[in-house]
Amino acid sequence: MKIEKIEIRYLESKLDKSFAWSQRWTDIRNLIVIKVFTDDGIIGWGETFGSQENVKAISTILKLSIGEDPRKFGMIWNKLYRATFQGHVYAKSAVYAISALDTALLDIVGQYENKSASDILGGKIRETIPVYATGLYYVDDYAFKPLIEEAEMHASNGYKGMKMKIGALTLKEDAHRVKEVKRAIGDDVRLMFDANEAYDPITAVKFADMVSDTDLEWFEEPCASRDNIANRYVKDNSMIPISGGESLSTRWDFASRLSDSIFDIIQPDICAVGGPSEMVKIGIMAQSLGVKFFPHFWGSGISFSAALHSISVQPLSQIGMQDIPYENESVLECDKTPHPIRENLTNDIFTHNDSRVEVPTSPGLGIQVDETVLSKFTIGSVTVVDKPSDGQRVF
């Protein structure tokens, strides 16, 4: 079996209403989807982040996989990584390309072997993955009422945890919002809050102090995720565990942060970290070092399925009689903000029961992509890669 052709599409959808986090307002959702064709007719799907401008760079990198056997996905990962290493592997296009391709190859190999992606990764340890709802962004000019209504909706829909945004308003205003959301959802639903890198360490600790009389699960990205000194300061001075790492890539971005105890919880995203292969390695590293592993998610059903499979093969962080989400079992983010692409591109694998989602069981990723929806949201032309690299360094 050989990789014959890859199609790369940039997808974007406009929202009726903008929403915001600490850094900006937006009214679009977007992602990049790749479709990998093999010479024996099996097709695999992969997904990553990026804009239309990333597509050209991604296509150049993906040429390196044309003609390779998808079953050698570990070798292919290394080939692309090595080819882009000394130049700009940490520039996002390289790791975006690797992440999407690794996902698609797992999808292909699973279908070829008639096994699920998790079986290809070593076999599921659990059939369902606990999820929490992400939402509670700033909307309607920072209105308070919709925030509480949304929190009550997630709780009444059965979510046992949810995450809200902070960092765009004054500390006092945001602290009030955190406490009021927690009051609205009650003691049995966990609440996390995310500053999206908005604070300096002193301000972050001050905020943590202001809400520390409330039962809160974690404080996400208090400071820039790459600022180890700032995050370590917050970790050492906050009563609330801190998390980060959604924008970090590969085991090497995480290794020193794990060994130096920069975060209590790490949150790699399968679209940015290097795909399922890398996600599994980093999960094992985190759990070996006593750091919680609660992956980030912000895409479509393609990357959500890849994340479910990757987490399903992870052992518990501590061995006990039962799996207890947040305590000894990893939880996965489940984006509930408006996203017409996510809501329509694949069959619905987001349906939770008791705040848990079933790991798909059919071969590969176990998802179906609706190609009408794919075309509807594609912006610009489809980029086709069907010739191998000429051997020249691409970056």
Using only C-alpha atoms, the chain has a radius of gyration, in whole angstroms, of: 20
Give the interface segment with Mg ion, choosing from 14-22, 51-59, 212-220, 340-348 (CB under 5 A).
212-220
Least separation in angstroms between CB 268 and Mg ion: 12
Which residues face 165 on adjacent strands?
194
- Residues 149-188 vs Mg ion: string with x where CB under 5 A? ----------------------------------------
Q: Closer CB to Mg ion, residue 108 or residue 198?
A: 198
Contact 295, 268 (CB under 8 A): yes
Kindly indicate which of the ranges 108-116, 220-228, 311-319, 375-383 contains the residues binding Mg ion, using the contact rule CB under 5 A: 220-228
7 vs 221, which CB is nearer to Mg ion? 221
Decide if residue 107 touches Mg ion (CB under 5 A).
Answer: no
State which residue, 262 or 385, has the beta carbon closest to Mg ion: 262
Q: Which of 69/200 has CB closer to Mg ion? A: 200
Which of 7, 102, 174, 194: binder of Mg ion (CB under 5 A)? 194
Closer of 7 and 335 to Mg ion (Cβ): 335
Secondary structure (3-state) at 188: coil
Locate the DSSP E strands across the chain. Answer: 3-20, 25-38, 43-48, 128-134, 161-165, 190-194, 219-220, 242-244, 265-266, 292-293, 332-335, 356-358, 378-385
Half-sphere exposure of 42 (CA within 13 A, CB side): 22
- Position of minimal CB gap to Mg ion: 194
What is the SS3 assignment for 116? Answer: strand
CB 333 within 8 A of CB 131: yes
Q: Are strands 292-293 and 265-266 parallel, antiparallel or unpaired?
A: parallel
Q: Which is nearer to Mg ion, 65 or 330 (CB)?
A: 330
**Which stretch in 3-11, 117-125, 217-225, 316-324 sits in contact with Mg ion by CB under 5 A?**
217-225
Residues in the site for Mg ion, rule: CB under 5 A? 194, 220
